[in-house]
Structure 1
Amino acid sequence: MKAQEIVAKVRNLPPVSQAALRLVTMLDQPAISNDEIVEVLKCDNVLTAKLLRACNSPFFGLEEPVASVDQAVFLLGHQQILHIVLSLAFGGAMSVVLPQHAVEAEDLWRHSVTTAQAAETVLAEGLELREEVEPSVAFTVGLLHDLGKLVMAQVLPADQQAEIRARVALAGMSRSEAEQDVVGTDHAEVGGELLRLWHLPETLVEGVRYHHQPRLDHPRCLSVIAHVANVVAHRARSDAPNVPGTGLLDPAVEQRLQLDENRLEELAARLRDQFEQIEHLMRLG
């Protein structure tokens, strides 16, 4: 089955805010302004209300209540606001109850938020990428990298889902390999196709589509960032399900970026220091 056919069959994923999708298309701008973010958010009353509630939570410890989007952006900065908005916008879609328990929604959402934070941590490491990437773009590709798992869990029949799980558990295959073997495509390709259907930037589509087959030759290298962040996120969480291959880097990426075991563990340790922030973002979903 092709990725396009699987995406065409999905019916029950909660809709994502059009304002949030518009914000994602703007993330690639090197100098996105606070005013531009405010104008987009003001087009979505529900998302604005959720944002203000989140900003007024005890987690941020603000001295005065936040009464407007303008004030929220001013006090927390647009980078933090983007984290909150993206978590609010996509958390509902990625925390749905899934049939046959093929994917545990809470585990998947936690891993997605962890990978998003890991992507920014990896980016800050100063890896020798071919072109500069905005931190908010790195965060977004990490947040959305496993979206295809939700689609496949909803669309695939129970026997195929069981066969995928069996090949991972008994044959030691990675999830991506098992999906390719059973279905003919994998969650990365399906996720990329869904983002393309949402008219999100091709750089994000590429990053999600190839996060298990990172493209070092691609100018933006978002798939490389997503791939490394995925590995670091799995290493950082001792409570994550043990799936074959999840903690291993692609050999070409490991060699090109000189990411040995010590450096990976340093990144994982740095990510563990951010777990309080990650758990807060996860609860927004």
Structure 2
Amino acid sequence: QVHQEEIVIRSILFIINVLSCPQYRPGGKNKNSGQETSSSSKPLPTCTEVSELLNNIMSGDAIKHLTDITISALLPLQPVDLHEWADDAETFVHQEFNEEGLRIRPTAENLLTTMMQYNKQACSSSILAFLEQTSHQTIDAHTSITAMLQRESLYNAIGLCAYDLSEDLHFGAWFNSHLLSELSATNPLQHIIRRRVALMLGNWSDSLDEQQRDTAYKVLGTLLHDQDIAVRMSALDGMLRLVDDVGFYSEKFEVYLLDTVSSIFQILEHSSQVDSKLKGLNLLTTLLNSMSGKLQ
């Protein structure tokens, strides 16, 4: 018997394959073009016909609706995810990036980026509409679990689609006006927001100016000390994206250097997963190369 989750995953993969198929795009060519067909066989539809049919089915409104479903139902962390995170946060972090096609959430991440490539305007407008809805809702101790999970899902979407949203979302301003205050909010699930912000800072590194990068260095340095190992692992990822970047300001980072290196060694000492140690060593090596002799 096929499990319900497997049906959902197969459906998502089917949509991904259809939307990303080059033969279904305008100007695509049939794979059997030029081959003879028997007089009794029914002619296959041309790529133009299939493309027109697909555009009718996957219209802008349909993409918006599917994006809404993805953010509200497919991307949010599920009870089993929260249980795995609480039980073994380090394993949870590394498994999450290797389960596309096996779990709904990582497969839905691929669906979102595929829809963004298929119809950027429709997908972007849906994400920005979600952001507008949450921008007036502050996080506190009374914020519901559902609201926290929805916010984490939205932030995941914003991180995944950073490049395509960069013209419509002024991330640096939003970071200063909203995300910084959310990091210090008190809520039992606040760690899922801290982790997502750490990853978003890496996703949006190209959109940060010098002053905003300085603030990001400070925030990520603090998150490297977080009690939750999943947050610390994500802070490593975010910091690496900021350091291994043409916009890296070594002078601004110098004040955070020793504390960052100390945090990396603590993670190396206390982590049990090889992947965690590799993350730490990767950031340490990148810092050694980027700081040009400032480490002694």
* Structure number with bigger Rg: 2
Name the structure with the higher helix share: 2
Larger relative CO (CA 8 A, sep 6+): 1 or 2?
A: 1
